[in-house]
Amino acid sequence: MNSTIPTVDDLRAAARRIEGAAHRTPVLTCAALDDLSGARLFFKCENFQKAGAFKFRGACNAVMALTDDEARHGVLTHSSGNHAAALALAAARRGIPARIVMPENSSRAKIRAAEAYGGRITFCAPTLSARETTATRIHEETGAVMIHPYDNFFVIAGHGTVALEFLDQQPDLDAMIAPVSGGGLLSGIAIGVSAASPGMEVCGAEPEQADDAARSLREGTLQAARPGETIADGLRASLCERTFSILRQREVKIITVSESEIVQAMLLVWERMKIVIEPSSSVVLAAVLKEKEHFRGRRVGIVLTGGNVDLEKLPWTK
């Protein structure tokens, strides 16, 4: 299941597999944000996706691709939030259990969402090693199939349906930009764009405090995540060999943004577009505003990845 890189045909198969389960999300525009950026912006609103984020596409594709024999013991993952809820919902649709390992510092809103969809949560220390060790133990105890948040063939293919759908809705884009964490979404988008619109630029955006993708592509080798925190809690994971290979091969440009730029962009979307997005989504608008000269006068597709926000802890309130 996890040994190869998807092709655009795999993305198309994923689109067929999740049709009727995942939403076809809208593309919105905002004249005020066009004026601020100097570009023509088109926002693909995955914050309106099932479970509140693009993650449902990959999770649904992976769960529905399992054989009955593979699915009989349920599924398992480790996730800080959005993939957890998405996998729990996808598993519930198939009628199988979902076991979720979550860091103890995960967003309370995302914990509640995973629980509401039936996820069986086990908490662990907020480190990658703790997540992986705990997930391995649960797999050995239950036989549940591990559905990695991004290092998974079917997850990447499912996420790539964002690009195919976006290009069907808005075919004349000059560039497409999405957040990068583990790289599953950005890899799927790069695969879809390179096949469907090979002249289009693909960019990623990530926090300066979680900039392993930018450093990895700059150095030509995988770089470890830096210690530290970012408000963009969904972007704390690091690239894996598979996603690094895809992004490097397709020469994806990565733009890093500060914490204050992330918060300001989030506030702009809430105020100007009247829609709810989380900090991990706002990094893309922050990147476009930071690199105005690069995007000026171009038609830019922006993927707003999710809207799962803890409303009791908004970043612009004390």
pLDDT in tens, the chain (318 residues): 445 899 999 999 999 999 999 999 999 999 999 999 999 999 999 999 999 999 999 999 999 999 999 999 999 999 878 999 999 999 999 999 999 999 888 878 888 889 999 999 999 998 878 988 999 999 999 999 999 999 999 999 999 999 999 999 999 999 999 999 999 999 999 999 999 999 999 999 999 999 999 999 999 999 988 877 899 988 988 999 999 999 999 999 999 999 999 999 999 999 999 999 999 999 999 999 999 999 999 999 999 999 988 887 888 875
User: Does residue 312 fall inside a structural domain?
Assistant: no
49 and 62 together in one domain: no
Read off the DSSP letter of residue 235. Answer: G
Instruction: Give me 214's structure tokens.
Output: 């930018």
C-beta atoms surrounding 235 within 10 Å: 25
pLDDT number for residue 1 = 42
Handedness of CA 29, 33, 37, 38 (dihedral sign): positive
DSSP state of 72: T
Residue 169 in any domain: the answer is yes
From 85, 115, 146, the end of a domain falls on 146
**Same-domain status, 167 and 43:** yes
Rg, C-alpha atoms of the chain: 18
179: which strand partners? 205
Q: Which two tokens stand for residue 142?
A: 């239950």
pLDDT at 3: 54
Q: How far apart are CA 86 and CA 50, in angstroms?
A: 8
Provide the 8-state DSSP code for 54: T
| 15 and 76 belong to one structural domain | no
**Residue 253 structural domain:** 8-54+153-304
Q: Is residue 159 domain-shared with residue 241, that is, in the same domain?
A: yes
- Cα separation of the two ends of the chain: 46
pTM of structure: 0.95
Domain contains 290: yes
- Token pair, residue 238, equals 């690091």
